[in-house]
Amino acid sequence: MAGQRQVQRQNGVALWRQIADRVRTSIDNGEYDHSGMIPPELVLAEQFGVNRHTVRSALAALGQEGIVRAVQGRGTLIERRQRLNFPISKRTRFTAGIGGQGRELQGLLLSFDTEPASETIATHLCLATGTPVIKLEALRKVDGVPVSRSTSWFPGDRFAGIADAYRRSESITKAFAELGLADYIRTSTEISATHAEPSEITDLELSPGAIVLVTKALNTDLDGVPVQYAITRFPADRVHFTIEN
């Protein structure tokens, strides 16, 4: 049975990292739930067909992420196992969607600026290229853990004070309401996945090589007029999406 879960060598990804990724996935999938701890280092080494040192490197990385904690003589305990559910629908709201899961939310304004719309942004917001748009960068945390980093664009004339409103309310929905937009609709969402870039690793407090889920979303008012285009990055080991039809 040994070697069944073997990892691959010399592919530019260190063995300890491949093992860390696999163990993290197993923890997320609840495969070790019965005991609350992961198998002994020697057992994992046997399963993956590597030396115990290599497994230890992997577990050290997971320990650094706060996912496991090793206790001498006992074993390696699972510290944190959380994958937030983020529902996507016509009424997609970050605060309401995550907040319902009994967590403490934060929405931090990282930066904002007014700039002329690029061709891409103008197309999405149905504006002429070069029209002033407000670009807003925000970081969201749940229970103190970063769960998303977004870059949003708003029509500049209509939502002039949105950055300030967002800073105070920490919610896009509330900021919109302050500016007279009582309701809006998620018109389309595109989902992809990629490796985290250095800036995301910093902002989202990820370990290098981590995976981010990327959404590109368009929100419109009830008349179908675009009010926000947003690109948001979620750490894939902390978040998943659900779509209910």
Binding site for DNA (CB under 7 A): 9-12, 14-17, 40-43, 49-51, 53-54, 56-57, 59, 70-76
The binder of 241, among DNA, its own copies, none, by C-beta within 5 to 8 A per type, is its own copies
Burial zone of 69 (CB within 10 Å; 0-12 exposed, 13-18 middle, 19+ buried): middle
Binding-site member from 115, 129, 222, 240 for its own copies (CB under 8 A)? 240
Q: Return d(Cα 73, Cα 16) in angstroms, integer.
A: 22
Selected binder of its own copies within 115, 157, 183, 190 (CB under 8 A):
190
| 58/147 with CB nearer DNA | 58
DSSP 153-189: EEETTTTTTHHHHHHHHS-HHHHHHHTT----EEEEE
According to CB under 8 A, which one of 108, 160, 201, 231 is a site residue for its own copies?
201
Q: What are phi and psi of 98, to 5 degrees?
A: -85, -35
From DNA, its own copies, none, which one binds at residue 76 (CB under 5 to 8 Å depending on kind)? Answer: DNA
Note whether 20 and 56 are within 8 A (CB): no
Contact between 89 and its own copies by CB under 8 A: the answer reads yes
Closest CB to its own copies among residues 23, 134: 23
Residue 5 as a binder of its own copies (CB under 8 A): the answer is yes
**Residue 61 contact partner, candidates its own copies, DNA, none, CB within 5 to 8 A by sort of partner:** its own copies
- The neighbour count for residue 164, using CB atoms within 10 Å, is 13
**Residue 112: closest CA among 150, 141, 145:** 150
Query: DSSP letter at 225?
Result: -
CB of 2 to its own copies, least distance (A): 14
> Smaller CB distance to DNA: residue 75 or 87?
75
The verdict on 34 binding its own copies (CB under 8 A) reads no
- Give min distance, CB of 144 to its own copies, in A: 22
Q: Which of 2, 208, 15, 200 is nearest to 23 (CA)?
A: 15
Q: Which residue, among 201, 72, 200, 34, has the nearest Cα to 59 in the 3D structure?
A: 72
Which partner from the list DNA, its own copies, none does 71 bind, CB cut-off 5 to 8 Å by kind? DNA
> What secondary structure letter does DSSP report for 55?
H
Distance CA 182, CA 161 (A): 15
For binding to its own copies (CB under 8 A), which residues are involved? Answer: 5-8, 11-14, 16-18, 20-22, 25, 61, 83, 88-90, 185-195, 197-198, 201, 207-209, 211, 213, 236-237, 239-245
